[in-house]
């Protein structure tokens, strides 16, 4: 990949994360998440190996499912409450859908099954960016969720802990 193209893609990664960090409106936050997704896809498929193409396809399908769910949940919240603000989520159904969509974007257990398969097809640098930088923006949005949505986050955390503990028992 040419250095100029790589620089533009890394700039787009930073821009998408910054837009999501600075947003208080769900549409702007969604747009930042999509900029992040579209910026990492060419980096994932830069080695024209079938495993890299498969990994980028799986990542695209998973992230587009999560993005569509997030957009649907925020539009449902706007329809029910009249609010697009991140901090003014009050209806429990869209709030739960938003938490699940962001958990899918992060790869939180039990919604993590796509992550190991995607990471297997990537080189080390791209996998590092995918495992760290790509998780910052959805994580910040999860932290901004009002207190009513914290119970589903606690349930996902307990599920993740139990799943990891049971998975660790089979290791030799």
Residue 45's Cβ-count burial label (10 Å; 0-12, 13-18, 19+) is buried
Residue 11 has phi, psi (to 5 degrees) of: -65, -40
- Report pLDDT for 149: 64
* Digit-coded pLDDT (tens) for 48-77: 888 989 999 999 999 999 999 999 999 999
What is the mean pLDDT for each group of 10 consecutive residues in the chain (172 residues)? 89 93 91 93 87 92 94 92 84 89 88 88 91 92 79 85 85 77
| Model-wide pTM > 0.85 | yes
pLDDT-above-90 percentage for the chain: 50
Q: Could you tell me the CA-to-CA distances from 6 to 2, 10, 39, 108, 121 in Å, in that order? A: 6, 6, 10, 28, 19
Please name the residue ranges forming H helices in 82-170: 92-106, 114-120, 124-131, 133-143, 150-169
């Amino acid at each position: 990949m040419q250095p100029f193209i790589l620089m533009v893609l890394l700039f787009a990664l930073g821009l998408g994360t910054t837009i999501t960090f600075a947003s208080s409106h769900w549409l702007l936050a969604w747009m930042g998440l999509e900029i992040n997704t579209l910026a990492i896809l060419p980096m994932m498929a830069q080695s024209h190996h079938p495993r890299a193409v498969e990994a980028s396809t799986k990542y695209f399908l998973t992230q587009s499912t999560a993005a569509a769910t997030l957009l649907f949940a925020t539009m449902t919240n706007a329809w029910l409450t009249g609010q697009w603000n991140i901090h003014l989520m009050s209806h429990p159904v869209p709030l739960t859908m938003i938490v699940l969509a962001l958990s899918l974007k992060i790869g939180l257990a039990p919604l993590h099954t796509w992550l190991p398969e995607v990471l297997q097809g990537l080189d080390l640098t791209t996998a590092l960016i995918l495992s760290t930088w790509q998780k910052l923006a959805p994580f910040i949005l999860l932290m901004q969720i009002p207190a009513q949505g914290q119970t589903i986050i606690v349930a996902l955390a307990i599920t993740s802990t139990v799943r990891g503990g049971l998975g660790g028992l089979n290791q030799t």
